[in-house]
Amino acid sequence: MSGDVSGGEPVVLRMSAVGDDPAGVTTALTDAFARIRDAVEAGRPVVVVLAAGNLMGQGDPLDAAVATGLLGMVRTFGIEGAKPGWRVNAVAGGEDDEAAVEATVATIAAAAHVTGQLISVGGANLGKVPA
């Protein structure tokens, strides 16, 4: 997981591949949790960028575990942050959706009343099980 958590800008976390060691799942999720927790305590909005294919389990099983784990975490931050006003959301897109993902990240980071949501960009997985 990479992302800048300094300054006053929104924090954007981008999931990276876990590798072959299952221990990487614990590391990736724990690292993301700490970054999101620290960001919301600093009053900064968070956007987690996920690969749509990982949410659907279309790739590596460990990457899929981290992706859906992050989404569950985003939703819990949304629930816990309803009163204090935390804004934590996720954006998911396919490999060809990079520009649309970036535009959506900027939009959702600035949205004052959206939290705990997954915004899916592109239509690759329409008609499939919701993430």
Nearest residue (CB) to other proteins, 63 versus 97: 63
**Minimum distance from residue 21 beta carbon to other proteins (Å):** 10
Other CB atoms within 10 Å distance of the CB of residue 118: 17
In angstroms, what is the minimal distance from the CB of 70 to other proteins?
Answer: 7
Minimum gap (Å) between residue 92 Cβ and other proteins: 12
Helices 61-80 and 23-41 cross at an angle (nearest 10°) of 20
Q: Which is nearer to other proteins, 34 or 103 (CB)?
A: 34
Binding site for other proteins (CB under 8 A): 22-23, 25-26, 29-30, 33-34, 36-37, 40-41, 54-80, 116, 129
User: Please, what is the minimum distance in Å from the beta carbon of residue 83 to other proteins?
Assistant: 11
Q: How many residues does the chain have?
A: 131
The smaller minimum CB distance to other proteins, of residues 60 and 102, is found at 60
Q: Closer CB to other proteins, residue 112 or residue 129? A: 129
